[in-house]
Amino acid sequence: MFNNLRKIALVILFLVLSVTPVYASGDYNISLSSTNVSQGKSVNLYIKGNNIAGGFTITSSDSTVASVATSSAWVDNNTATISISTLKVGSSTITVRPTSVSDYDGNDLSLGAKSVTINVGGKSNTSNSSQETVKKNSDNTLKELSIDGLNLTPDFNASTTSYTVTAPSDVEKINIKATPNDSKATVTGNGEQDVSAGANNLEIVVTAENGATKTYTITLNVLEKDPIEIKIGKKKYTVVRKIDDLPDVALFEKCDVEVGNEKVTGYYNEKLNIYLLALKDEKGKIGLYIYDNNKKSYVKYEYITEGKITLYLNNPDKIPDKFKKYNVMVKNTSVDVYKISKSDSLGIVYGTNVETGHKGWYVFDKKEQTLARYYDKEALFYKKQIESYKNYLMILAGIVSVIIIVVVIISLVKGKKKHRRR
């Protein structure tokens, strides 16, 4: 009988262990498709996650030698691939830093940065006549960039390629001065340029002797005459009048919106019965706001689009049981996603379908980048399955505990009997 009980206990213990998920400690590693490469070639950086989910930043110690295609990546127990362009001879260290990483048990991880080095060699051309190797300069950077009478933000730096400038309302022409570091490089987009009220996007392209290009961009905001100024909280905004500055908004039509005593171009959606206005902040950034003419109120229009569904995000009145709120970046938009566990790739978001007008919960799959209707019946079934699973494990654990106690007692009894016989 003792041997039979022991066998039963071992079988039940095996079953418990087999159905209980166990995750290894989370970590990541990085690698390059090649550490030594010729100038002008591209290499791939691989970030492989092991039982982790989270964001990473990627930086180059010298972007004039090796330039990364993107400065951020999301890894969810997979491998992210980032392309790196080599621009000139030299070496650059590529550093990967975790920003917000958790393991598959939902525990936040504190992982250190990891680095790899790319060595870039010269690219040679062979002359047909002399068969000698001719090296052409790859320097496509600027030594100087300025606009007469105006200030760049931030201050000019050869490695910084994006700038903003604010100009008075009476400015119609500007003069851009752009000098390359290498005298054999060519520059386009400099000199005198026509500008108009609102945002003007200007590009200065530097072409190196070897053909490699680098683009510097300037967003020049010419102030409007008699702007419509509003205040939301402590921040100041102006209403965007210029139609060319207005982006297309999915499932909204452009229309006239009355603001004060003036009609400006805005947007309207019949299903939602809401109007949108484009507002520009003091830094020249344009955003969309829901405008209520009666209340004279402005609310930020937050939305996400996945597949065929565009969802206008709302605050839920009630959160389903077992779900907790987590902040997730979805295409550069901060979104409140409700999940049972932080490491889950599936979650739910609350909002209104811009096309149909349906308001409710939607399932968001971050890994597959999809949205779908969330049905309460299915959710209830899911929760019941979870509860039954937990109850099953508790009952099973109780049975195992009882069997172990019985086995121990029998072993002690048998031990005492043997001792008495001696």
DSSP 61-121: S-TTTEEES-SEEEEESSEEEEEEEE-SSEEEEEEEEEEEEEETTS-EE----EEEEEEEE
pLDDT one-digit tens code per residue, 329-364: 887 788 999 999 888 888 999 999 999 999 999 999
d(CA 85, CA 207) in angstroms, rounded, equals: 15
pLDDT one-digit tens code per residue, 13-38: 444 444 444 444 678 889 898 888 88
Fold of 142-222: Immunoglobulin-like (2.60.40)
Specify the pLDDT at position 420: 61
Confirm if 146 and 177 have CB atoms less than 8 A apart.
yes
Give, in order, the Cα–Cα distances in Å from 48 to each of 36, 73, 78, 103, 181.
21, 11, 6, 14, 38
pLDDT one-digit tens code per residue, 304-320: 998 889 999 999 999 98
Quick one: tokens of 271?
Answer: 């299903």
Specify the pLDDT at position 91: 87
- Per-residue pLDDT, averaged over 411-417, amounts to 72
pLDDT one-digit tens code per residue, 375-402: 765 555 555 566 666 667 788 888 888 8
Phi and psi at 297, nearest 5°, equal -115, 155
d(CA 362, CA 264) in angstroms, rounded, equals: 34
Specify the pLDDT at position 337: 94
Specify the pLDDT at position 203: 95
pLDDT one-digit tens code per residue, 206-247: 999 999 999 999 999 888 788 888 899 889 998 987 766 677
Task: Please state whether the peptide bond connecting residue 98 to the residue before it is cis, i.e. omega within 30 degrees of 0.
Answer: no
pLDDT one-digit tens code per residue, 93-119: 999 888 878 877 777 788 888 888 989
Rg of the chain (C-alpha set): 31
Q: H-helix or E-strand containing 399?
A: helix 376-421
Specify the pLDDT at position 416: 66
Confirm if 320 and 362 have CB atoms less than 8 A apart.
no
d(CA 206, CA 179) in angstroms, rounded, equals: 9
Q: In what order do the strands lie in the sheet with 191-194?
A: 142-147, 173-180, 191-194
CATH number of 26-126: 2.60.40.1080
Q: What is the pTM of this model?
A: 0.45
